[in-house]
């Protein structure tokens, strides 16, 4: 597609003007280019079903834990909003995927809502749910956008939660059934798969701290859920390997380099425990190393929930591991805190810029966490399956000139390139997120997208960062 054709399509889709000359000049001056990463490096954007789809009860979809959580525990959402409609991707998917194409985005990471395919978690398949994802996948392929599918991005059926959810060992069978159905329905066209999104987020936030759905605060349920989710990594991976020819199978982890506040001895111990919890809890048993009990002794409580043969079944030889990094963690000791015996130092004390999420802008953290994971023996290829930032966006004369987001993305990409140049097998980068969406407990106020959307009108506006990414990806 030449520049004139691209401009014509962009205008028709509301893409707006080209990047300001000063931003393009800055990019040229800094010198980072798509070609620096190699021809086989994958570029994309990422989303999640609950955050963008809407249509929460349409065409046979079942209630998910997030539907239930936002309807009955509204006080847990800072803005008291929900994802009932969100970006209405359920109806807008075709235009959104065409917009991705116009922005030169080669790959689209999205999730399949388990509750749309199996409304009650078990039993009859909802064919209208299968049809929806077939249409999304076909639309991607027709527009030259490769689909990368996440099987579980936090939207367990409420019906299964009422049976204990991830704390019930039966969830392994429930999940296997879902993966069997999804892999057979979509595996003829989808070859890139991720089993889970960020278990270290949805398990503790949902079962230990009560901040996210299902809103539980229960130590026993937390330990059970950790083990069952680890088991489901291997179970899901094996089903994908069996059912999908030429599948490239991965899973994703939220991760963060952990530093000790002021380098004190007690804080160093806290750092070790924090690292075991944040970065090692799920990856090490999957790699065959077992749970990091030595550095985080409370994890020995998981053992009573294990059955003979579990250690072998926890393992799976993934083709890639997805790392999702936004910031770093700085910790100091506090003995009264359960499990990790430490607390995070507020980002405002660390001397760097702070995002709308209250996170420190720390680009070197990306390099450090890639290095840390790459050091594991037999570590497969690494993809950065999420990275992005929420800053306050302002719509002025129909434009959102989010230069701080552009700088953030450049700085983090530079650290990925640094790791790649040192010989680490980093294969791709997905920005979170393609479009502003329902940001879990933050509601719609906190915005990560390259594309803005107005919840009242559903109007899309490509931000300056989206225009920058499009220019960066232009071959």
**Residues with a known catalytic role:** 198, 386
Residues 6+ away with beta carbon under 8 Å from 162:
none
Q: What does 339-381 look like in DSSP terms, one character per residue?
A: TT-EEEPPGGGTTS-B-TTS-B--THHHHHHHHHHHTSTT--E
| Order of strands across the sheet that contains 342-344 | 258-260, 329-333, 342-344
Pair 327, 359: CB distance under 8 Å: yes
Cα–Cα distance measured from residue 469 to residue 448, given in angstroms and rounded to the nearest whole number: 14
Cα–Cα distance measured from residue 148 to residue 210, given in angstroms and rounded to the nearest whole number: 30
Count of positions (residues) in the chain: 475
Cα–Cα distance measured from residue 409 to residue 387, given in angstroms and rounded to the nearest whole number: 8
Name the packing angle between helices 21-30 and 403-421 (round to 10°). Answer: 20
H or E segment to which residue 57 belongs: none
Cα–Cα distance measured from residue 227 to residue 302, given in angstroms and rounded to the nearest whole number: 7
């Amino acid at each position: 597609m030449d520049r004139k054709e691209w401009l014509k399509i962009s205008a028709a889709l509301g893409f707006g003007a080209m990047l300001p000359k000063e931003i393009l000049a800055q990019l040229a001056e800094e010198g980072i280019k798509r070609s620096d990463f190699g021809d086989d490096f994958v570029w994309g954007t990422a989303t999640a079903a609950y955050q963008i789809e809407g249509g929460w009860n349409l065409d046979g979809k079942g209630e998910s834990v997030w539907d239930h959580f936002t309807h009955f525990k509204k006080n847990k959402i800072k803005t008291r909003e929900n994802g009932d409609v969100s970006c209405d991707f359920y109806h807008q998917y075709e235009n959104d995927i065409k917009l991705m194409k116009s922005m030169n985005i080669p790959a689209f990471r999205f999730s399949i809502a388990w509750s749309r395919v199996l409304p009650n978690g078990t039993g009859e398949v909802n064919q209208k749910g299968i049809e929806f994802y077939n249409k999304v996948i076909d639309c991607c392929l027709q527009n030259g956008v490769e689909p990368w599918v996440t099987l579980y991005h936090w939207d367990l059926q409420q019906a299964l939660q009422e049976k204990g959810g991830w704390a019930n060992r039966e969830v392994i069978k429930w999940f296997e059934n879902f993966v069997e159905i999804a892999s057979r329905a979509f595996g003829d066209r989808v070859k890139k798969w991720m089993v889970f999104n960020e278990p270290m987020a949805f398990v503790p936030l949902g079962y230990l701290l009560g901040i996210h759905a299902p809103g539980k605060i229960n130590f026993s349920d937390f330990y059970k859920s950790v083990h069952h989710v680890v088991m489901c990594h291997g179970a899901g991976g094996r089903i994908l390997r069996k059912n999908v020819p030429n599948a490239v199978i991965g899973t994703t982890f939220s991760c963060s380099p952990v530093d000790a506040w002021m380098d004190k001895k007690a804080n160093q111990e806290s750092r070790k425990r924090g690292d075991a919890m944040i970065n090692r809890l799920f990856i090490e048993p999957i790699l065959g190393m077992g749970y990091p009990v030595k550095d985080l002794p409370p994890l020995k409580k998981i053992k009573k929930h294990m059955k003979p043969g579990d250690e072998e079944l926890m393992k799976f030889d993934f083709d890639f591991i997805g790392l999702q990094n936004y910031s770093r963690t700085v910790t100091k000791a506090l003995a009264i805190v359960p499990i990790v015996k430490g607390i995070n130092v507020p980002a405002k004390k660390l001397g760097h810029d702070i995002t709308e999420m209250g996170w420190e802008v720390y680009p070197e953290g990306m390099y450090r966490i890639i290095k840390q994971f790459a050091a594991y023996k037999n570590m497969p290829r690494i993809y950065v399956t999420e990275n992005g930032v929420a800053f306050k966006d302002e719509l002025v004369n129909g434009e959102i000139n989010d230069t701080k987001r552009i700088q953030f993305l450049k700085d983090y990409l530079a650290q990925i390139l640094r790791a790649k140049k040192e010989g680490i097998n980093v294969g791709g980068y997905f920005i979170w997120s393609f479009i502003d969406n329902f940001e879990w407990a933050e509601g719609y106020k906190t915005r990560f997208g390259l594309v803005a959307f107005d919840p009242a009108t559903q109007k899309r506006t490509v931000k300056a960062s989206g225009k920058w990414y499009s220019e960066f990806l232009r071959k």
